[in-house]
Chains A and B, each alone.
Chain A
Amino acid sequence: MKYFKLLISFVLTIGIFYALNTQLGAIPPLGKFLNPTSGIWQNETNESIKGEVIIPGLKDKITVHYDEFMIPHVFAQNEEDLYKAQGYLTAKHRLWQLEFQTHAAAGRISELFGERALDYDRSERRRGMGYGAEQVMAYMEKYDTKTLGFIQNYADGVNAYIDQLTPENYPVEYKLLDYKPETWTPKKTALLLMYMTKMLAGYDDDLEYTNVLRLVGKENFELLFPDFFDITEPVIPKETDWSFIDVPQTKLPGSQAVLDTIAETIEKPHPDNGSNNWAVSGARSVTGNPILANDPHLGLKLPSIWFVMQLSTPDHNAFGATIPGALGVISGFNQYIAWGETNATRDVIDWYKIEFNEDRTKYKYDNQWKDVSVRVEDIKIKGKESYKDSILYTHHGPVVYDKNFKSENQRSGYAMRWIAHDGSNNQKTFIELNKAKNYDEYVNALQYWNAPAQNFVFASTEGDIALWIQGKFANKWEGQGKFLMDGSNPENEWQSFIPQKFNAHTKNPERGFVSSANQHPVDENYPYYVFNDGYETYRNRVINDFFNSKEKFSVQDFKNLHNNNYNLKAAELVPHMLEHMETSSLSADEKAIYEEIKAWNFNNDINEVGPSIWRQWYGKLYRMLWDELDVEDIALTTPYTYQTIYLLKNCGNHEFMDVKETEDKTETSKDLFLLAFKEAAKRLKEIKEEEGDYSWANYKGTYAGHLLQSLPAFSRFDIPIGGDRNIVNATSEDHGPSWRMIVEMTSPPTALGIYPGGQSGNPGSKYYDNFIDDWAAGEYYNLNFLQSDEITNAIIGTQTLIPANHE
């Protein structure tokens, strides 16, 4: 009996230990997680911003002032120390995010979540994310060890922080998922840059276009997906003279698209990723100083993608938004210039059909057999054995789709040609931009930038404004890369690149302003092949109309434009629908909704109901219209909004208007308006019953979700902000202006900025989400651009980083 009692009590004790020390499904190990001495209660604090911290390897002392926004102002004595401090401080405030984003980039999420993330991880590996990062490293080792040295400094700074951490100080997310931070490496910076490239230039529809082409034929395809719409309001003004370009476009070979059927494609970046930027010249500014603005539209996430910092040495002084993992300021200003980016949305991914030999060791190319190389990706899975994915590489790039992944063809596959696999030195662009003093130095900094192609806006205290569309672009033949190509034919390869100096750009244009909003880069007069691969067509016109509407502009005008909720898309279709729709069959309820949208002024303000009605109505209409392109087991895409509205208004009797389900009837656009309206009205009634009303803020329910699948406890919901996609204030449900900046080029510049988040990555800090309400209200913070390390009354705390050998 006594043995039994002893045994039972022992088993119970071990049992409770095990239960509280082990993660069970989604429940964290509760003893570890909740105990007050090393669990989450230790994260119940704001960050410490005082005292001295010893950092091994520093050359000199570094002063870090914090202002009321928890923005660190870094005063280092040299660049090596500066980037070490940036790494250290980024880790201090954002460690979990810093590491998680590069895990995501590398396709290592299964390590944390188990098998359910395997498909994601395989997609990232097959996309060649790790391969691309290795090319970047190899490139820098060969051509630019200086930049690589700075990246190593940054890594040392991150690691100095990690080395000081004890388990009780791990960020909450580590405790929740029960793992710990690993050593940071320069390759992780390369992975982060790949992640940015994927997010911004990883979108392409070549395979979907191929399916659509096969399905609807060439004539219809060109109607649905024209290279240029009937209107263009390009980034680079139409009147630009291109006569200086003396390298011609690649000659058209007799090449044909390969009309394969592709069932399923890998996940693409969110189409709402986009941005605005613009600048006015001194002549068109109320104060005589150029003014510049930037607002990148990315996922609204917590912790935010941006971390604002001032980074200075005695030789330069930069301020603005940084991205955890990348060096320097990404969108910001220094004492002389300001800069910001929008996505150039160019087609930098092409696909090639590959034919293999019997055992898939060789592939056909130019009537010969070329060797395949194999890269084995070892994907660790939490709680399971690793998954090994053998990915075949051709000289084009990785064979993403083959018999092992989303395809059944035994002897063929589709290889990806992506500029991001070509090794590059993108990091140097930011390091140089942070130090640039004038237009020439800005242009010089841009030349290193390969991908993701960006529209870099520029303004200087000297009075110049400019915009370069920078990236490494293939000089394609007319039509090249719009569809799947035959990978065995050398003519289908990228023959050469557009010389960098011939990239489209404009400096001090006559109109006195530059702007970009992800629209067409150029009009048809630009001598290289550019086609519409998802260009924006609304924000650009609203922005340019605004700058054409009056002579002079102030910072207040810039704020108003950032917060502009005008829905041009609705304004171009709703009046047409109201005019042509047959209303006699509307019920009383439907009639009421009809009157509501009729009274709408096309502003997507939070209290309006018009935007919600429009969303429902257009959404239903769009799906009914493109029912032909909704086919099971074929990856397809549907036409862009602009062309959809164009067809509805101008080709109302086209065969595509017909609803295929109704076999006895042939619908026209007029019929669709009514059918869609009735369905929308039904749904709106339901929403009203469920939610009380369908006012825009309520309907849209904008939220900033935590990076861990929007974990509600760490996210913010129902943020009251207007706007939507294709509106200058591009705030949809979970995408929008992730950083708003306005810089007036006084000497030194005067700047405003805000983002929907907070400087801290710790959900236990009041600085975690403290900017969100002001951001939603359209407000800005004055950025304290300190000119020396002297303490001013804007400073709430100072921390000094000192070398290890400091006496």
Chain B
Amino acid sequence: MSPDHYILLSVVLFTIGTIGVLVRRNAIVVFMSIELMLNSANLAFVAFARMHGNLDGQVIAFFVMVVAAAEVVVGLAIIVALYRSRRSASIDEPNLLKY
């Protein structure tokens, strides 16, 4: 299989993730969409590493995983705190921080 397919899959996944972030109201689902975007990027990195025949992309994919893990810790904690205070996980409702 040529790497084109992997890149194509990565683009599709990234687009789905982006649309998910923009259109969904549930914070957990938005969060999952963000994970989808991160992992589509990982897929692209690995595919390019394979294309170029070196390991740079693989290494960066690991970095992204570490950052994503850290981000999950912070993000989920925020969402849990949000849910506890408002009894809802909608990201449209917390809108006090504005003009």
Binding partners A and B = no
Residue positions of B touching A, CB distance < 8 A: none
